[in-house]
Amino acid sequence: MSKSATKPAEGKLGVLVVGLGAVTTTFMTGVLMARKGLAKPVGSMTQYDKIRVGKGNDKKYLMYKDVVSMASLDDIVFGAWDVYPANAYESAINAEVLKEKDINPVKDELEAIKPMTAAFDRNYAKRLDGDNVKTVKDRWDMVEQLREDIRSFKANTGVNRCVVLWAASTEVYVPVNEKVHYKLADLEAAMKADDKENIAPSMCYAYAALAEGCPFIMGAPNTTVDIPAMWELAEKTGMPIAGKDFKTGQTLVKSGFAPIIGTRMLGLSGWFSTNILGNRDGLVLDEPANFRTKEVSKLSTLESILVPEEQPDLYSNYYHKVRINYYPPRNDNKEGWDNIDIFGWMGYPMQIKINFLCRDSILAAPLCLDLVLLSDLAARAGRHGIQRFLSFFLKSPMHDYTVDEVPVNHLFQQYTMLKNAIREMGGYEADEEID
């Protein structure tokens, strides 16, 4: 084992979340309950998973915190921005994800988390009408106000480090524009010129976070940090970025199940995925322009796992369709149906049906925790720019499309990348092959 260059996790870790809705309040409540010993952080890799380090007689299976220096749940201090003024307790009750009896033991702590005014543009989420929003002159002013929020939060709480996490709604789809999104100077000029078409509010949050020395995580499918201008800013500030879109229900199933078809050399004729969900996420995604952002994210998973060029007999002509339907009675309990048409020996057809009755925020909360702790770890290890090892947690992993890089979507290859990165940051050899 070589000596690790990763700085130790000393002092408090600020976690600033954009959006204080169902996902965020479930995440916050779970962390606060777990540190009181009243709940278990089930689903969190950083809290439960073990990694092998060494081989042969030297082989050991260790928790992540025993391989690398990691912030503990006790170190976390929460803050948030939201378009609605309700505090975290009121929002948690309103979200109706958790039972009141599972929220009340940490009521005082949740009530103390009052959202800062959000940087918001209603054109990016027409179904939201909150009034807890900033008055801004232009996009650059939006950035400056957010930077001031981060500085104030650090000063008021005394945290040593800070991570910014987007867990707000999906924005309207913003196509990548080379004239604006490829160079940092062009991005900054567009912000100063108040280019509302090419600069989404989420980009202002990301810019502010990176400029203030905070890793930034994009938990929605927005075009935010997956643009070369943001990669340039991340390099300049030495900060990690991760994204995009939390991999919770249906895409998690897809990234784990598609490898079964591919490994067993079965053919695919079609994969139809549909979802029904309520909550604020479903409401926003009921708007076609917002759904387009999500659709691009969800469609990208399969094509990089079952690759037509690699196995033309099996995958040259399959049909892939994704649908999301807003259905208020379900609230946070979304349902994902997958119909998979496969074929086997001599081309004979077969079908697989998957019905995942999942709780969106219950699956997303541990991802928030892991992404925050691992992004903080990456920052202390001096890793900046796109953090590909975090692809495991994300639906549409960031990659450098300017050089035709193909993202890794195969769940088990992603898991290998995650373990290797943690080994390296802990001063061990990254000794697993990604086949």
Residue 91, phi then psi, degrees to nearest 5: -65, -40
Distance CA 112, CA 15 (A): 14
- Res. 2: pLDDT tops 80: no
Q: What is the mean pLDDT of the segment spanning 354-360?
A: 93
82: left (phi over 0), alpha (psi -120 to 50) or beta: beta
CATH code for the domain defined by 13-246+361-425: 3.40.50.720
Of the given ranges (33-42, 74-83, 243-252), which has the lowest mean pLDDT?
A: 243-252
pLDDT value of position 249: 85
The closest alpha carbon to 301, from 340, 272, 258, belongs to 258
Class of domain 250-357: alpha beta
- Report whether the peptide linkage leading into residue 244 is cis, meaning its omega lies within 30 degrees of zero: yes
Half-sphere exposure of 380 (CA within 13 A, CB side): 25
User: Residue 129 — pLDDT band, cuts 50, 70, 90?
Assistant: confident
96 vs 286, more confident: 96
pLDDT value of position 301: 81
CB 321 within 8 A of CB 339: no
Domain with CATH 3.30.360.10 in the chain: 250-357
Which residues lie closer than 8 Å to 185 by C-beta, 6 or more apart?
Answer: none
- Res. 136: pLDDT tops 90: yes
pLDDT in tens, 291-343: 777 777 666 789 889 999 999 999 999 999 999 898 899 888 889 999 999 99
Distance CA 115, CA 92 (A): 13
Domain with CATH 3.40.50.720 in the chain: 13-246+361-425
Which residues lie closer than 8 Å to 247 by C-beta, 6 or more apart?
Answer: 255, 367, 392, 393, 394, 395
The closest alpha carbon to 90, from 29, 42, 5, belongs to 29
